[in-house]
Amino acid sequence: MQDAFSLAGKVALVTGAGRGIGRAISLKLAGAGADIAACDLKEEWLEETAAAVRGLGRRAECMAMNVSQSESVAAAVEKAAGLFGKIDILVNNAGITKDGLLLRMTDEAWNDVISVNLTGTFMVSRAVSKLMIKQRSGSIVNIASIVGLIGNAGQCNYAASKGGVIALTKSIARELSSRNVRANAVAPGFIQTKMTEELSDEVREKVLETIPMKRFGQPDDVANAVLFLAGDASSYMTGQVLTIGGGMVM
């Protein structure tokens, strides 16, 4: 019987693959048999990810991509398609935060976060979906956030961008389902990364009070959800949002 979680013979393009959740996703997909087109703002950020993927016996190619610039996106996707011959899975993980209260948030902080998190997801999805439509197959997995569902004080820009990613995902799913291209989203809560490690003890305690499971998640928790949505195990799912937040959203 074929393993529904196997990605043998598949090619996955992962943005923001240089560290944290993006690296965990790349390794999880490679562990299931996928070759990885690893993308980030600078190629040198991807060296450790690529080495780890190759250590799993899978092919890894690195390419610089600024997701907020259409020319950079087009060049990287073209390079990936040329090297691998196809792209079966797209994981839009690249994202930034520039937090601040609404009344103090600058135009720059708003525009930068929207440009990377939302416009970037749109641009990469647009470029890769052209290939997937020709292949008549593909799975797009967008990394959203729980704050895109419930909001968060001090993160108007980030919440708006991730809420937009959720709506974008559902729209892509409606447009591409007839071409056998699926689009789903994962909405992580508070995941143990460098960003959460920088929180003060007081802030960490306040955050933990909002999580029924009383702990932060791990990058692998998100990667496991991406693996499920990327392959045949979720073949009858599209336009859905999986929340990985320890019960913050029920």
Q: pLDDT tens digit string along 14-48?
A: 999 999 999 999 999 999 999 999 999 999 999 99
Helix (H, G, I), strand (E, B) or coil at 187: strand
**pTM of this prediction?**
0.96
In the block, residue with structure tokens 């839009």: 92
Rounded to whole angstroms, how far apart are CA atoms 199 and 171? 35
User: What pLDDT, on the 0 to 100 scale, is given for residue 15?
Assistant: 98
CA atoms in the 13 A half-sphere facing the CB of 36: 35
User: What pLDDT, on the 0 to 100 scale, is given for residue 199?
Assistant: 77
User: What pLDDT, on the 0 to 100 scale, is given for residue 10?
Assistant: 98
Query: Which CATH number applies to 11-239?
Result: 3.40.50.720
In the annotation, is 236 catalytic? Answer: no
In the block, residue with structure tokens 């990985």: 244
User: What pLDDT, on the 0 to 100 scale, is given for residue 2?
Assistant: 67
Number of helices (H), then strands (E), belonging to the chain: the values are 10, 7
Which residue of the set 84, 158, 190, 216 is catalytic?
A: 158
Q: Please identify every stretch of the chain with a pLDDT value under 50, giving residue numbers as ranges.
A: none
Nearest to 217 by CA among 200, 233, 201, 195: 195
